[in-house]
């Protein structure tokens, strides 16, 4: 591989993911949840409106997870499949999904970390299935490549950059 | 790894600023942050030490326009340049779509530049990426300083070119950014390709956007 490959999120995948996140919030009484890819791109979010910059939050989430991944390896663990950050009022729980994305759940005193952990398990298994199917589909398509979205768009790209 | 989000109609790409410590990577992002309109960029995040040296990364998302109805969103990252932060530096390269190498033009930083360039090749190789095959530009920064090395020397040391094996690609390609120069050409009977290069003064912004746009364009072209 010469560089990183491309992947895409279809609208149908998106609505399945969204449904998963909403179900989790309902079951766990958490405030909101986000799905972030390992490169720090926000894929989806559900629940209360976010009061912070979601893009910045997503990049820090990925960095947090990747730093912890390395720490896990140093102490002889394959990975930390989940992380828990406890605050005074607000807490967050992060869980790995298919080694590709990270599920983040933000919650407060209206629920407990035990409850969140329990419900996240189900969501992670649902999301694993969605992502496995999605990546199998991309692979079947021989998808090292973007699925042709920018094919033949050279002129448009030239124009965008003014030459 | 670029990501196309059909739901939000966005193409997300990751561009990493790499180079020796104090070369001006963070300053590049600060300048971009300061000069583009707030509605085309997001919040800048910096994980730095007390003395403003990058500890983990800086992050700045910018929108560079629309192609095929999709917003092109570039996630700019810097790495920590200091030698001993290699573990963190390597993490940031994961999933990268393109690299801007920010060299420090000062004569006494030549060794540090060479070491950082070697480190880039090594870290990329560990992920199975090949720097010569991805969108890659070199930015010679701090051109304003009196002890800046001549461009020809910097090019010879840091961007001497790599052999072009593919016979279909063995033809002269003019450097669109420097008249009379070539990105692909024959040197002593050998076909070589070089990364596009730019001169910059990151503190004033000179050359910063040229390098950014060149890298962004290469990334989008690599998707087309
Ligand atoms: N004269 C001059 N100074 C510059 C230029 N670009 C950056 N600097 C200065 O160089 C110093 C280091 O710049 P940074 O942007 O923090 O360097 P860095 O590459 O991010 O360094 P690390 O985070 O340690 O890897 C700062 O004091 C900048 O103001 C330039 O083009 N000319
Ligand atoms: Mg820095």
CATH of the domain at A61: 3.30.450.30
pLDDT band at residue A147 using 50, 70 and 90 as cut-offs: low
pLDDT for the residue A163: 57
Global confidence as pTM: 0.92
Residue of B nearest to A145 (CA): B223
B23 vs A7, more confident: B23
Q: pLDDT digit string (tens) for A59-118?
A: 999 999 989 988 999 999 999 999 999 999 999 999 999 888 999 999 999 999 999 999
Helix, strand, coil percentages (3-state) for chain B, rounded to 5, are: 35, 35, 35
Which residues neighbour B7 within 8 Å (Cβ) at sequence distance 6 or greater? A9, A10, A11, A14, A15, A44
Look up tokens 């448009």; give the residue. Answer: A156
Which residues of chain B form beta strands (DSSP E)? 3-5, 10-18, 45-48, 54-67, 70-78, 98-104, 136-141, 162-163, 173-174, 182-187, 190-193, 197-199
Kindly compute the dihedral angle of the four CA atoms of residues A69, A74, A79, A84, in this order, to the nearest 10 degrees. Answer: -70
CA pair distance B59, B43, nearest whole angstrom: 8
B26 CA distance to ligand 1 centroid (A)? 7
**Which residue in B75, B92, B216 is closest to A41 by CB distance?**
B75
Task: Pick the closest to residue B15 from B54, B47, B63, B48 (CA basis).
Answer: B63
Question: Which helix (DSSP H) or strand (DSSP E) does residue A85 occupy?
Answer: strand A82-85
Name which CATH class applies to B3-159+196-223.
alpha beta
Contacts of B164 (CB under 8 A, 6+ apart): B170, B184, B191, B192, B193
State the average pLDDT over residues A28-40: 94
* Alpha-carbon distance values, B93 to A93, B57, B122 (Å): 25, 11, 11
Residues A59 and A40: beta-carbon distance below 8 Å: yes
Spell out the per-residue pLDDT of chain B, length 224, in tens: 788 888 889 999 999 999 999 999 999 999 999 999 999 999 999 999 888 999 999 999 999 999 999 999 999 999 999 999 999 999 999 999 999 999 999 999 999 999 999 999 999 999 999 999 999 999 999 999 999 999 999 999 999 999 999 999 999 999 999 999 999 999 999 999 999 999 999 999 999 999 999 999 999 999 87
Q: What is the DSSP string of A96-115?
A: EETTTEEEEEEE-TTS-HHH
Give yes or no for a contact between B134 and B13, defined as CB atoms under 8 angstroms apart. Answer: no
Cα separation, B30 vs B9, whole angstroms: 27
Q: Going by CA atoms, what residue is nearest to atom 24 of ligand 1?
A: B21
pLDDT at A1: 37
C-alpha B115 to ligand 1 mean position (Å): 18
CA gap B168, B145 in Å, rounded: 41
**How many domains would you assign to chain A?**
1
Is this prediction's ipTM beyond 0.85? no
Q: Within 10 A of A86 (CB to CB), how many other CB atoms are there?
A: 9
- What does the alpha-carbon distance between residue B67 and residue A153 come to, in Å, rounded to a whole number? 8
- Answer yes or no: is pLDDT of A3 > 60: no
Q: Is the pLDDT of residue A5 over 90?
A: no
Comparing CA positions, the residue from B23, B27, B17 lying closest to residue B106 is B23
Residue B136 corresponds to which tokens in the numbers above?
Answer: 């890659």
Q: What is the dihedral of CA B30, B36, B40, B42, to 10 degrees?
A: 20
Q: CA A138 to CA A37: how far, in whole Å? A: 16
* pLDDT, tens digit, 9 for 90 and up, residues A37-56: 988 889 999 999 999 999 99
Report whether A98 contacts A132 (CB < 8 A).
yes
Q: Which domain holds residue A104?
A: 4-161
- Alpha-helical segments (H) within A29-143: 54-74, 113-140
| B14: chain A residues, CB-CB within 8 Å | 4, 39-40
First to last CA, chain B: 14
Report every protein residue that has its C-beta within 5 angstroms of ion ligand 2. B 25-26, 54
d(CA B24, CA B221) in angstroms, rounded, equals 27
Q: How many CA atoms lie within 13 A of B113 on its CB side?
A: 26
Mean pLDDT of chain A, nearest integer: 88
Q: Which two tokens stand for residue A60?
A: 């820090």
Nearest to B75 by CA among A77, A122, A27, A4: A4
Domain spans of chain B, in order of start: 3-159+196-223, 162-194
Residue from B77, B93, B78 nearest B22 by CA: B78
Is A39 within 8 Å of B43 when comparing Cβ atoms?
no
Ligand 1, residues at Cβ distance < 6 Å: B 19, 21-27, 53-54, 78, 80-82, 141-142, 144-145, 201-203
- What is the predicted pLDDT for the residue at A2? 45
Q: Nearest CA of chain B to the CA of A110: how many Å?
A: 30
């Amino acid at each position: 591989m010469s560089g990183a490959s491309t992947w895409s999120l279809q609208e149908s995948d998106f609505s399945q993911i969204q449904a998963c996140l909403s179900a989790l919030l309902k079951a766990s009484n958490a405030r909101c949840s986000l799905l972030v890819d390992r490169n720090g791109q926000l894929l989806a979010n559900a629940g209360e409106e976010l009061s912070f910059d979601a893009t910045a939050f997503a990049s820090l989430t990925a960095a947090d997870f990747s730093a912890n991944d390395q720490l896990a390896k140093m102490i002889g663990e394959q990975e930390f499949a989940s992380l828990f950050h406890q605050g005074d009022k607000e807490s967050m729980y992060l869980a790995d999904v298919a080694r590709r994305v990270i599920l983040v759940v933000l919650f407060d005193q209206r629920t407990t970390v035990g409850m969140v952990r329990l419900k996240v398990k189900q969501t992670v298994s649902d999301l694993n299935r969605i992502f496995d199917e999605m990546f199998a589909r991309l692979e079947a398509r021989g998808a090292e490549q973007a699925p042709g979205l920018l094919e033949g768009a050279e002129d448009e790209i030239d124009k965008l950059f003014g030459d | 790894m670029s990501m196309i989000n059909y739901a939000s109609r966005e193409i997300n790409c990751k561009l990493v600023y790499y180079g020796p410590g104090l070369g001006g990577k963070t300053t590049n992002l600060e300048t971009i942050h300061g000069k583009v309109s707030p509605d085309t960029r997001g919040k800048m995040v910096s994980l730095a030490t007390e003395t403003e040296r990058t500890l983990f990364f800086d992050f700045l998302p910018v929108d560079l326009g629309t192609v095929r109805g999709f917003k092109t969103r570039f996630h700019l990252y810097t790495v920590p340049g200091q030698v001993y932060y290699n573990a963190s530096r390597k993490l940031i390269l994961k999933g990268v779509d393109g690299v801007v190498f920010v060299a420090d033009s000062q004569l006494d930083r030549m060794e540090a530049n060479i070491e950082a360039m070697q480190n880039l090749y090594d870290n990329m190789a560990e992920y199975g990426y090949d720097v010569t095959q991805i969108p890659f530009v070199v930015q010679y920064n701090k051109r304003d300083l009196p002890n800046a090395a001549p461009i020809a020397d910097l090019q010879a040391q840091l961007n001497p070119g790599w052999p072009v094996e593919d016979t279909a690609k063995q033809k002269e390609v003019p450097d669109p950014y420097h008249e009379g120069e070539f990105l692909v050409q024959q040197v002593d009977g050998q076909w070589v390709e070089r990364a596009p290069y730019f001169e910059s003064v990151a503190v004033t912004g000179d050359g910063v956007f040229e390098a950014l746009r060149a890298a962004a364009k290469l990334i989008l072209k690599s998707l087309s």
